[in-house]
Chain A
Amino acid sequence: MAKLEELRYRSAYFLWVGVFFIGVFALIALLYGATAKIDYVWHWFDVPKYIVNQERIEITAGMGGEVAAIEGEGKDAVVIVKDGDDSESYPMAEAEEIWVSKGDFITPGKILGVYHKWQPGILLQGMWLTLKVSMYAIVFGILIGMLGGIARISKNPALKWSAICYVELIRGSPLLVQIFIWYFVLATLFNRLLMVYGFSEIDALYYGVAALACFTGAYVTEIVRAGIQSIHRGQTEAARSLGMTGPQAMYYIILPQAMRRILPPLAGQFISLIKDSSLLGMIAIRELTKATREAITISLSPYEFWFVCAILYLILTFTLSMAVQYMERKMAIQ
């Protein structure tokens, strides 16, 4: 009886698993069918070269003359070109094949050999920039948030009110507007000032990082505040009753415990930060989204590239969330 029951349960389970996969495939088929209706031609094979591509590099002779000798073999091969008393040697270490032989007369610019080199494509470059910008913003966001969170619960009105104003201002306006303020107002102002005093300008990238860091910092401030306040008052009292100063109690007792509670919401915040960094394309920073748009202008295959773009973001955010889960396990008290 129990066996029959279990069998029934299992077959129902697999039925619904089947429903799930059928649903997924139906959606894909629907999309494909719709694009076929409007004669969209999918060019998936175009995509890989925007992620990594093989660049053809030619080794050319700088002067004309006679190939006097080819010394060495394979990786050590060197082509020596002589013209009267002049002579030049070209190491062929990377060349796949040597296109000249001894005794050949060559003109300047003659291709001596060719090799191919793997290079990150525009999408991978964009992804790297997204990662770089996000990491900078995360580090500074944590710093701002830690200080902000502690200021937010301070009894000193100058600190406390500054923290409240900062958080409310940042959270109350759209990130895109903040990025424009950083780029079109603060960056132009500051770069002009730098010029007036004879310094070189700062790249737009850093204003983008600043915008993201300030934005995230406000949210981290609130997360840190909540984390600190969630630690029972008795912990501070116990630490103070042992003669620790306020900062000592904060450093040794409160913050380490608060950090553990802060970690999950912090991870969520940083995942949104990676996604929000896509707005930096608006101020000419070539991160992943902007890179995708450029790839589309070249390839004229928008459908493929937007899906690829989304998947590349997913790789970044998923890796981060895995890393945080690992840290959480490490920090957990058994």
Chain B
Amino acid sequence: MIEVTDIHKTFFVPHKVKALVGVSTKVAAGEVVVVIGPSGSGKSTFLRCLNHLEAADSGHILIDGIDILDRKTNINKVRAEVGMVFQSFNLFPHKTVLENVTLAQKVVRKRGKSEAHDKAMGLLQKVGIQDKANAYPDNLSGGQQQRVAIARALAMDPKVMLFDEPTSALDPEMIGEVLDVMKALAREGMTMVVVTHEMGFAREVADRVIFMDEGAIVEVGTPEHFFQNPTHDRTKLFLSQIL
């Protein structure tokens, strides 16, 4: 589903930082991959490269067989197939919850009004927030907003879902409700790449865990391998710091 070959990314603003130095990996259809690592390790940049919110400097990224670093690729078409959930939700504050979920369906997928509405209501029910359909995002709690953001991404019927630290901006008591939605999604067989600090989620749901540091993948393995006998010193140190 996703095939990343040797991507590099350097930022020059505000100063020169090598964010990614030769990252390669593959994610199969239906697989749940959790990316962990210390802050500044490049894991968010890696995720944002996957739907071209950041343009990788070199290498290849194939999404469902399409190279998104090829200039001839219509990136908007690819992005419609790749859902993304942000740390800060990024709901559209001037639109109601329902409009948030229907807008892109109408504009990008060209669905009719009733079709988009039904799809949206179904998804809002799925994330347990259908009674807030006509509320504005600012009147929702963080956990509710993030669930709407997930519904908004799912409304496009994506083939892959990317989660960029989806629970980092939430109050502790709201983390659970968002993780539950993500777990349900994983059980349904959605292909997911999740950047998170929630080790419990990684242990329970991940098919594979990727540990990144200083812009490179340090260690890859199953959760069992990862949490019980990590091989690299850097991984051991990181795990000892957060567990």
Residues of A within 8 A of B (CB): 232, 234-235, 237-245, 248, 252-253, 256-257, 260, 333-334
Contact = CB atoms under 8 A, between A and B. Distances in A.
Contact of A243 (B80, B90, B94, B138): B80
Interface in B130-151: 136, 138-139, 149
Interface string B47-74: 0000101000000000000000000000
Contact of A241 (B77, B84, B88): B84
B93 interface: yes
A268 B109 CA distance: 41
B86 A234 contact: yes
A226 to B, nearest CB: 18
A334 B136 contact: yes
B237 interface: no
Most A C-beta atoms less than 10 A away, residue of B77, B104, B152, B153: B104
A242 B80 CA distance: 5
Nearest to B79: A243
B94 A245 contact: no
Contacts of A242: 79-80, 103-104, 108, 152-153, 156
A45 to B, nearest CB: 54
Contacts of B139: 334
Given A333-B94, A333-B138, A234 B77 contact: no
A243 B86 contact: no
Interface in B72-113: 76-77, 79-84, 86, 88, 90-94, 103-104, 107-108
Contacts of A237: 53, 86, 90
Most buried by A among B86, B94, B149, B153: B94
B104 A243 contact: yes
A334 B94 CA distance: 10
Contacts, number: 64
B76 A257 contact: no
B63 to A, nearest CB: 13
Contact of B94 (A239, A244, A257): A257
Nearest to A235: B90
Contact of A245 (B76, B88, B92, B156): B76
A144 B149 CA distance: 36
A241 B79 contact: yes
Interface string B23-65: 0000000000000000000000000000101000000000000
A244 B53 contact: no
Given A243-B104, A243-B108, A252-B107, A234 B90 contact: yes
A234 B82 CA distance: 17
Interface of B: 51, 53, 76-77, 79-84, 86, 88, 90-94, 103-104, 107-108, 136, 138-139, 149, 152-153, 156
A326 B198 CA distance: 47
B53 A240 contact: yes
Contact of A235 (B51, B76, B92): B92
Contact of B88 (A234, A248, A256): A234
A132 B102 CA distance: 42
In the A-B complex, the 8 residue pairs with the closest CB atoms: A243-B80, A238-B90, A242-B104, A234-B90, A241-B84, A243-B108, A243-B79, A243-B76
B232 to A, nearest CB: 32
Contacts of B92: 235, 238-239, 253, 257
B77 A243 contact: yes
A257 B86 contact: no
Contacts of B83: 241
5 contacts: A237-B90, A242-B104, A242-B156, A243-B77, A244-B108
B88 to A, nearest CB: 6
B76 to A, nearest CB: 5
Nearest to B92: A253
Contact of B103 (A235, A245, A252): A252
Nearest to A253: B92
Contacts of B91: 238
Given A242-B80, A242-B152, A243-B77, A256 B90 contact: no
Given A238-B149, A241-B82, A252-B107, 9 more contacts: A235-B90, A237-B86, A240-B79, A241-B83, A242-B103, A245-B76, A248-B108, A253-B92, A333-B93
Contacts of B94: 256-257, 260, 333
A239 B138 CA distance: 18
